[in-house]
Amino acid sequence: MTKEATAMIEIKRRRIGEIPVLELTGTKEQDKALPLVVFYHGWTGRKENNLTQGYEFARQGVRVVMPDALYHGERADEKGTRAHEAEFWQIIMQSVKEFPQVVAFYRDAGLIQNDRIAVSGLSMGGITTCALLATYDWITTAGCFMGTPCAVEFLHYLLAHVPGMDQVPQKYVDAQVAALEKMDLSQHPERLAGRPVHFWHGLADETVPPQPTLDFIKQVQRTPAGKNVTVETTPDVGHEVPYEATVTIAKQVAVSLTK
């Protein structure tokens, strides 16, 4: 088990290239090499929205870095985030593209302990987490809150259920599907490669329905690639993360980082 940090948690603002981030560590650990957790917020959110999650991860003695996604938070433009709804998947792909830049900043500064790197996030950030796992085999572990590894399936769900999405040109949809297939973890489950990945989902979630994720986990847990995948669910909870779930996943990820 990890030893929870007993010092105060320090929050620092940084800019890594064009990416604004919040960095959370124990006050006395700022200049130490620590395991790194990169945490991604949800659709229309911003990095500040997930300070509860950042705090609970940082309490475990890790360094938490929380970026603003494209068109979110400090990166929002005059149109506002919701005007970019049709670019939802491109926003996720941009986070996947930018992830090595964020890691390189801390690696070059000698602030990552033993190259132990985790990703986590909720909702859109949870989908980003799964896409990152399908893309980078050097990620150590991950925690996914109410996201889904089934990116292509979820794209079709959005097209069918979000008002106005039926007006999206088929050519654009086909291009998104082609791009997403490369980072759809459900289509490439072997890329888990035995890494510990911890999921949480509310069973009453209608925004990101849990069943595709639960079906994927059930199947992959039977394989060597998915032997270290775990899942926690909470009945009667919709698209929100209870505090208890945050604590559970933070501890599980931290333990996986220090094994």
Has residue 211 been placed in a domain? yes
Has residue 252 been placed in a domain? yes
Per residue in 205-244, pLDDT tens?
A: 999 999 999 999 999 999 999 999 999 999 999 999 999 9
Cα separation, 183 vs 150, whole angstroms: 10
Q: What's the whole-number average pLDDT of the chain?
A: 94
Per the structure, the complete domain to which residue 25 belongs is given by 9-258
Per residue in 43-74, pLDDT tens?
A: 999 999 999 999 999 999 999 999 999 999 99
The mean pLDDT of 180-186, rounded to a whole number, is 96
For the record, the structure tokens of 167 come out as: 């007006």
Has residue 109 been placed in a domain? yes
Nearest to 210 by CA among 188, 173, 241, 244: 241
The CATH number of whichever domain residue 68 belongs to comes to: 3.40.50.1820
pTM: 0.95
Has residue 226 been placed in a domain? yes
Residue 91: the pLDDT is: 96
CA atoms within a 13 Å half-sphere pointing along the CA-CB vector of 101: 13
Residue 1: the pLDDT is: 40
Q: Which residue has the higher pLDDT, 99 or 3?
A: 99
Would you give the end-to-end CA distance of the chain in angstroms? 9
Question: What residues pair up with 16 in beta bridges, in sequence order?
Answer: 19
Has residue 3 been placed in a domain? no
The mean pLDDT of 2-26, rounded to a whole number, is 86
Burial of 206 (0-12, 13-18, 19+ CB in 10 A): exposed
Has residue 62 been placed in a domain? yes
Predicted confidence (pLDDT) at residue 22 exceeds the cutoff of 90: yes
Predicted confidence (pLDDT) at residue 5 exceeds the cutoff of 70: no
Has residue 233 been placed in a domain? yes
Q: How many domains does the chain have?
A: 1
CB neighbours of 110 closer than 8 A, spacing ≥ 6?
A: 33
Has residue 43 been placed in a domain? yes
